[in-house]
Structure 1
């Protein structure tokens, strides 16, 4: 830190550029301000460079002061027992000061600081900004800043009820450790001061923190309106962007052994393009079982009163907040206080399955099934955001997975029939956990043979899982299953479900595979690999709707999963959408090794049709595609045979026969008459015969050519 240059001051310039002792601003007398540590609001990363979130202009502090500061009666509760206090009766307003009728604890809901009052001979009170569950919030001017400088606004947070010993203890706890918290998305605590209570003369503690001039997420949600002026939820991408912004801040607290405890829209402010957690009144250390526990109905986790707060309960409040901001939620704190509405009752949930699954995991009643870290939660939330955006505008939002390898091969293309064992061999596999004791050994292993794995220096969980994978790849699902079932399972490791799904596919049990992959999708809602596996299992069991929906989402978000393109195309084709099926295959990039197989599938897609729907335009378009592909002679002739056979069947249904006047256009150089098409079919049979080494097959090809040849006059 840089020493203060103000004469006689022994302080130093803090992270915000002001002296921590006298309040002098660095740079006013020519001193260079510590630019690398300034905390001024700048263009932030809100939206992860994927979403443009409307900025919120900085608010003039003086306009934020409450004209008539008071606590609404419905928010008045005893700070000791939680019973309602200060409520009106028979048309008479409730008391703002008094004693709890249940336990006699005094209460006061009147601000103790008045405009013009000076706290600690330094902070001039301008008025109350708001009230919360822990204390009043006041705007103040730091009078120690030079008159020639810009105003330095700060916020003082005191206690709603100065007679509440629990609240006082909470404030004292804040004084110990919150001044050390320094994160760009968390309000900065400058100081902790005391000031005599005007009624009792007893000293009262106040936290001094930076002023954040923006609007809370609650205010933004309330102000969100549709074309008719009615209130509507915030756009989902914006809500997800908010979640991605606050999770690192919570992760910062968790890494330092702190829990936020009372996360909700009221406690987050957007200022320009940055979010800040603004109320640290409920923050406590992990393992602190003595401090007063604060929470908000509808947001707090169900186990918190009995088991206390945890990282998982903090993340639960994030899930509830995202739900609150993104959907209409009548009964949020009552009927739905401990659960989400059913998926079929919420249009957004029905449309955005991954988001619904994300919220279900975040707010799962079993703590073990929730996200276990802010980083893990943010990783899945980012995947959900990418999917939501890609589905909205059709532009892929690919990103490397931190959980899975790429798909090992492509399944379901023109050269691969959709069979369970083939799908199991093609799907991605989980990446090795770097924290596993054998991670180094596995990284150095040149081949993942079963014998090499069994000779590993430590038979860790990752080594055992690699043995399972090797057995599946070797075509022995029974042995793989025996190995997997011998592993310890506490119901929280998604990798066991994944390998159980692969074993089920390899063993020809797609219904069991679907159940296992569905569980993985629940745990990893932001992973395209989980949806891809579930889509394949759905297709194998005949669930066309489930397969179509998931193939499409995977393909939309990441064009590296080409198996999803083939799957999505098959589903469209089976539904009779020939044009849609071909359009998907046309999206396979030219740089992909599967571009030619995709175009071959597109050729067949133009010819695959329900009776009476094929036209001469389809035949000519398929012909043009085939000619552009420049395939090897055998593949070209094989596809040509398919095309001529299809054209002859079409001609037999449409009835032109041997008419001298053919329909306009040509297919592979032949007119669309029976005579011309038979000549084309004959020629390609003979090409295939010339390439066949087996004498018996070559003769069969020649016989077929002779059979289809039209009568000619020699």
Structure 2
């Protein structure tokens, strides 16, 4: 069987269709369309068969009931309809990954198939609920006990399900069986007899023997029942049954990411992680749920692959057992070793610790994270040892900021994290392409670049977007001062020195070369917020502004600027502007390979950056003698760009310098549609014809070839060159130069002896 060719799909083709995503096999014959009745041909009534067509397969087929035709069995019809349904499903793009990538949907199975046949907790997971000591372990040939007393603290324990199939809980929920055993105890599947027999999940609460703890737990679960979000499992009710409390939750019938990881394990036991783009898509979809909880003053605390379920083409966050209020300093903290932030034990959970769990989850999803609960419980393995980190450095920087040792160095909010995750996903997906980007991405931090020429200066880099919440923004917008010195004087004299005012002061200092102005503004900016990455951006601009014509001075400026822009890149791994700035700084600093990599990332990812990145690639590749690579870069500048004419001219010049007849012919074609002044075009044509004559003298004529309209023969080229010399003479004011051009025209004219 052939593997499915759809991006990210793990299925194989069966009978011409993928068994996972439903897409047709490229070589398979298309399914014949069902005939549709035309207005002039009324639809025939379906033949009575005496049996009812199952609703799952009869379906809507052009508003008619599908019936077997002559020689076709009902099984064949069923197969045809299922194929058609799969084909239609394949046309629908999954909501996961915002349309940037594809994640195969997970079918929702029969809930009864998820029940445990013989509910039993493995011995390695049996621990005392009071002190955490191992209990119920095997002794000799005797198996471990499912219930008893902890030998360390004498607290009772029991790992046998308390609810039996058919038991009615709180007079409403009929138990079907046990689904799993979690940190809070057994989890049961049940039917809600009061609401259309819908499936629900019953989850026991810990410490139910303590009345105060039980009251507090019930109150907390009742509060969580008010949390309503489509990405968070819904809590319907909190009930008691025979002295025990149970949370009644929505049944989610998909597959957890942990289960999916287990399913991806190879037969040899080799870890088969998710592709980076799919892992980012899962987390990206779940982050709005975190934002909702944080907006309510809640913390999730225990995010991990076990607690995110894919259902169809969406995800849902389950298990709210660890959720707590942000101002709660007394309740027990629930988390998982390897996922919990290192500072939680001392200062408690926070938004920053939730963001840590997101980073750790991304690691577990994308590579075999050995030692994540031991050696690397508080950090990450070296970048060089993790293939996804090496392949996608933006992904590494996203994870590194999520898992920064200092909570203050992490993303401030999950909304900020989500914005950067989208940008990183774009870069990961773009890395698979060998073509320039065709779509632009919205940035919350930068305006698009303005460069349209073959060089890139510091003032042509993307501008910082202004903070709409800054109280001085309206005043700044009203200023009509164009002179940077006068502007700085106005800004520095104002009593309100907000971040936007300070940034405007710094930029004025860069424009006029006043380092003291820049340093003062940056110092005040960092005094208010030591983690403001805009300070590094401004410092990088200052260094670039100091690069002049002196090669050594430019190299030093580029080296220093690269350090500042690298800090911005690390803070905003999903943004392309720092990549372009870093590429320019690396180019000036003499780090050609690093510059090329960052130019390529910008070039692939965002259409707004294609032109400046393409010119950057042209410069870097030409610097190492890669003319073909430089030409390919120039070819990528889109026709609609203001930089396109300049790119075509540079391309023509590169081809002309290379000098073969084929190159000369392509060079003429490259400039044929450019608007040039007569003298410039005549000079270009004259140079082309001179080189062509030299090639003809060496390799012979090619009468079947043309340079524009000129055949590649000696006489034709001489006549064309004569004409261009005379055009140049007409546009040359200096009489000596004009006479020289006329002499050259006479000398090159072909002579006839008849």
Q: TM-score range by the shorter chain?
A: 0.7 to 0.9
How far residue 658 of structure 1 moved from its aligned partner, in angstroms, is 7.1
* Match of residue 499 from structure 1: 538
Q: Does 1:510 align with 2:558?
A: yes
Aligned to 1:488, the other structure's residue is in SS state helix
1:459 pairs with 2:459: no
CA distance in 2 between counterparts of 1:700 and 1:98 reads 109
Q: Hey, what's the Cα distance between the residues in 1 that align with 2:212 and 2:387?
A: 43
How many Å separate the matches in 2 of 1:430 and 1:191? 49
C-alpha separation between the residues in 1 aligned to 2:742 and 2:220? 90
Residues 327-355 of structure 1, C-alpha deviations (whole Å, 9 max, x = no match) = 22222322332222322222222121111
Q: Secondary structure at the match of 2:394?
A: helix
CA drift of 1:160 comes to 6.2
Distance 1:256 1:99, change over 3 A: same
Q: How does 1:162-561 map to 2 (within 5 A)?
A: 168=214, 171-196=217-242, 203-224=243-264, 231-393=271-433, 394=435, 396-410=438-452, 413-414=453-454, 416=455, 422=457, 424-446=458-480, 449=484, 450=487, 451-454=489-492, 456=494, 458-477=496-515, 479-489=517-527, 491-508=530-547, 509-561=557-609
Partner of 1:24: none
- 1:681-700 paired onto structure 2 within 5 Å: 687=727, 690-691=730-731, 695=734, 699=736
Assess, with a 3 A threshold, how the Cα gap between structure 1 residues 111 and 354 changes in structure 2: closer, same or farther: same
Question: For 2:97, what is the secondary structure of its paired residue?
Answer: coil
| Aligned match of 2:199 | 153
Q: CA deviation at 1:681?
A: 6.6
Q: Deviations over 1:570-612 (max 9, x none)?
A: 3344444433432332222222111111211221333455xxx
Aligned mate of 1:74, from 112, 117, 124: 124
Mean Cα deviation higher: 46-55 or 594-603: 46-55
Contact conserved, 2:174 with 2:191, CA < 8 A, in 1? yes
Distance of 1:454 and 1:596 partners within structure 2 = 43
Does the aligned pair in 1 maintain the 2:201–2:249 contact within 8 Å? yes
Matches within 5 A, 1:581-660: 581-607=630-656, 615-637=660-682, 639-640=684-685, 643=688, 651=694, 657=697
- Superposition CA RMSD, Å: 3.1
Instruction: Determine helix, strand or coil for the equivalent of 2:607.
Output: coil
After superposition, the C-alpha distances for 1:150-182 in whole angstroms (9 at most, x for unaligned) are: x31111110467558998577335324101100
Seen in structure 2, the aligned counterparts of structure 1 residues 685 and 503 have a Cα distance that, compared at 3 Å, is farther
The TM-score normalised by the length of structure 2 is 0.78
Does structure 2 conserve the Cα–Cα contact (< 8 Å) formed by 1:263 and 1:318? yes
The SS at the match of 2:526 is coil
* Unaligned runs of at least 5 residues, structure 1: 1-41, 197-202
Shift in CA distance, 353/709, structure 1 to aligned 2, threshold 3 Å: farther
Q: Distance in 1 between matches of 2:267 and 2:608?
A: 39
| Paired residues of 2:93 and 2:99 also in contact (CA < 8 A) | no
Where 1:336 maps in the other structure, the secondary structure is coil
Higher mean C-alpha displacement, 593-602 vs 49-58:
49-58
Query: Counterpart of 1:554 in 2: which secondary structure?
Result: helix
CA contact (8 A) 1:99 1:106 kept: yes
What is the total number of aligned residue pairs between the two structures? 643
The 1:102–1:230 alpha-carbon spacing in structure 2 relative to 1, beyond 3 Å, is: closer
Conserved 8 A contact 1:156-1:206: yes
Among 194, 197, 200, the alignment partner of 1:144 is 194
Cα deviation 1:625-673 (Å, max 9, x = unaligned)? 122323233443454466567668xx4xx7x647874686344556668
Counterpart of 1:32 in structure 2 is none
For each residue in 1:290-338, what CA deviation from the matched residue of structure 2 results, as whole angstroms up to 9, or x when unmatched? 1111111111111111111000110111111112111222223223322
Does the 8 A contact of 1:223 with 1:231 survive in 2? Answer: no
